[in-house]
């Protein structure tokens, strides 16, 4: 896996990342840090990546279990350390799973498997952060 980042010039902190899979991701900073608020902050992209990693797992596990999942939303809230490096210290994932006749135990198991076995992003983040989650199941 690889990624190349290019700084977009001397008047800001915009970076364009080109991934090994051929995709582009922009990141910028807040104005008080020299950025122009043109894109997500780098640490926001870390959270988004963790959310994508665990949501992918949960959907895949439920689909493989032949559960009628039709939607998956993950909201993430995080706290960071006050001093540099300002690592994440607490991260809470709220899963909102939509489907027909979804067994709560199956949804809980899918989230647990993602967080304890499959999601590499969560595995890395739990080295510095307390990881918690909650689940809401919405019946269709």
> What is the rounded average pLDDT for all residues in the chain?
97
pTM: 0.94
Tell me the domains of the chain and their CATH numbers: 3-33 (no CATH), 42-139 (3.30.300.20)
Instruction: With CA atoms as reference, report the closest residue to 122 among 25, 33, 57, 62.
Output: 57
Q: How many CB atoms lie within 10 A of CB 139?
A: 8
Contact 89, 130 (CB under 8 A): yes
pLDDT one-digit tens code per residue, 31-82: 999 999 999 999 999 999 999 999 999 999 999 999 999 999 999 999 999 9
User: Does position 9 have pLDDT exceeding 90, yes or no?
Assistant: no
Question: What's the average model confidence in pLDDT over 94-121?
Answer: 98
């Amino acid at each position: 896996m690889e990624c190349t980042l290019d700084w977009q010039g001397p008047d800001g902190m915009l970076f364009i990342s080109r991934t090994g899979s051929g995709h582009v991701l922009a990141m910028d900073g807040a104005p008080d840090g020299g950025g122009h608020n043109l894109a997500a902050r780098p640490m926001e992209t870390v959270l988004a990546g963790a959310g994508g990693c665990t949501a992918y797992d949960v959907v895949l596990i439920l689909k493989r279990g032949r559960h009628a999942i039709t939607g998956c939303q993950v909201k993430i809230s995080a706290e960071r350390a006050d001093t540099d490096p300002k690592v994440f210290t607490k991260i809470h994932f709220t899963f909102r799973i939509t489907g027909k006749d979804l067994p709560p135990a199956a949804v809980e198991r899918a989230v647990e498997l993602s967080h304890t076995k499959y999601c590499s992003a969560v595995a890395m983040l739990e080295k510095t952060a307390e990881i918690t989650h909650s689940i809401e199941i919405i019946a269709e």
